[in-house]
Amino acid sequence: MNRAIRRVGYVVVALLLIIVGQLTYLQVIDSSKLANDPRNSRIFLRNFNRPRGKIISADGEVLALSTRTNDEYGYQRTYPQGSLFAHTVGYQSVIIGSAGVERSYDNDLTGRTLANNPLRYPSLLRGGTQVGDVVLSLRADIQRAAKDALAGQRGSVTVIDPSTGAIIAMYTNPSFDPQPLASHNSSAVQKYYSALSADPLNPALPRAYREIYPPGSTFKVVTTSAALATGKATPESVYPPDRSYTPPQTDNAINNFGNKPCGGTLPEAFRQSCNAVFARLGVEMGEEFVPELEGFGFNSAPEIDMSPGAAVSVGPQIGSFKNDKPSFALAGIGQGPVASTPLQMALVAAGIANKGIIMKPHVGEKVTDREGKVVSRVKPSAWKKATSPDIAATLTEFMLSVVNSGTGTAARIPGIAVAGKTGTAQSPGGPPHAWFIAFAPAEAPRFAISVIIERGGSVGDEATGGRVAAPVAAKVLRALLGVK
């Protein structure tokens, strides 16, 4: 009998030890995970019934702040700039959650980052609620310039500092007003969100970094770099003035724009944007093309400090050349298997501007406490080694010729050397997408830019990158460089 009682006692003690161990694990080891779990209703409500830091542009304009309310939540987010920064700043909603900087910098905005370092930030010890303000690299004046330059056309403008990866502007049209999503009226929020989701123009989509398009001839920057790096071409290479090129394994010819004859030396073919030449190079490079385009960031996504993150820009895959040579020809001209976010094409331009190195893109610049003390700064870091400094210098010369006397003359700015490349990308079922990428000043680059105008914009079927997108880029670059 005593033996049986002892066995029961052992079992009870063992069970108690298991329970104590589990409680210790949950309260100590796993506490942070549980505290940040979005399903934790107490934490969720706590984020709304306390102040939240401001989001501020690089030029000092408040883009998001918390205001007092008289309901159970206590605070509500306010977005003074309306739709101007909706796709980057994002929103914080009691009903549908959060997105953009509001989500990716949540720990800083709520003060959790600072709370973990009370000795480093003594203002915490003096009482009150401490939160962090997030200062962005985005400039409100350039964001407005991008919006004005698009003039209501569907598309996006992205501007990057090539030496640091700091995003200076990233505007998408159409946009939306995030303020109704911040409302505490659940039925009103749901109604507004449903209307956004049902809108065929999809204004809630951050096209600049979440949508992919065929980049068209802007991708010839990548093709040319790859051809030079693999030795399949040199600046002295000469090509016949063909009207088209028919790749192996198909009878479908790839025509030059307007079916015109086009050829000459490699820089001349680049200046004229000869499809026949670059489609041929895509096939001649074959499998060697893939690691070169991946060096520019294709088949991967840049680790941008946004939530959700950037979409993957895609290109041909290793192992696909043998049975699909026509796709490599189309890839050479930025069609077929190639699709890119506008952000990615801005990074291509930035990589050439930065002597072959693509920096990791970011919208955050620094976090400060309520007294203005800097808590943290974003440290620039390299993302990809796209090409060599020598090839980048050669491509800069090629891109200068495009703007000076080629397809991109609409991007010329008096007194400023602009290096660029146009693109007119076929879009199934509609007018072409118009592209332009560039950087300036070419001799000491400060800004890299990409512009896409969907479905030809106001021009429609007659659109080209040089006619539609290049003038938009010129207007934004003028604002950046202070040129009237």
Taking residue 463's Cβ as centre, other Cβ atoms within 10 Å add up to 22
Q: How far apart are CA 31 and CA 232, in angstroms?
A: 57
Query: Could you tell me which residues are beta bridge partners of residue 65?
Result: 78
* CA nearest to 134, candidates 105, 154, 157, 107: 105
Owner of token pair 């096209």: 207
Q: Which of 434, 365, 361 is nearest to 170 (CA)?
A: 361
Answer yes or no: are the C-beta atoms of 391 and 385 closer than 8 Å. no
243 touches 444 (CB < 8 A):
no
Residue 451, H or E segment: strand 447-453
Q: How big is the CA angle at 225 (ends 221 and 227), to the nearest 5 degrees?
A: 115
Question: Which one-letter amino acid corresponds to residue 386?
Answer: A
Token reading at 348: 């291509």
Q: Is 265 helix (H, G, I), strand (E, B) or coil?
A: strand
Q: Is 187 a catalytic residue?
A: no
Those residues whose C-beta lies under 8 Å from the C-beta of residue 375, and which sit 6 or more positions away, are: 108, 113, 114, 121, 132, 366, 367, 368, 369
Backbone dihedral angles phi then psi of residue 91, each to the nearest 5 degrees: -160, 160
Number of other residues whose CB lies within 10 A of the CB of residue 17 = 10
How far is it, in rounded angstroms, from Cα 339 to Cα 360? 20
Displacement of CA 120 from its chain's centroid (Å): 34
Catalytic residue among 217, 313, 327, 340: 217
Separation in Å, CA 154 to CA 169, 201, 224: 16, 9, 29
Nearest CA among 171, 53, 169 for reference residue 112: 53
Placement of tokens 């040319």 in the chain: 224
Find all residues with CB under 8 Å of 61, minimum gap 6, and list them. Answer: 80, 81, 140
Residue with tokens 């008289």: 70
Q: Residue 91: in which H helix or E strand, if any?
A: strand 91-93
Stretch (H or E) spanning 271 = helix 266-272
Q: Which amino acid is at 355?
A: K
The catalytic site residues sit at: 217
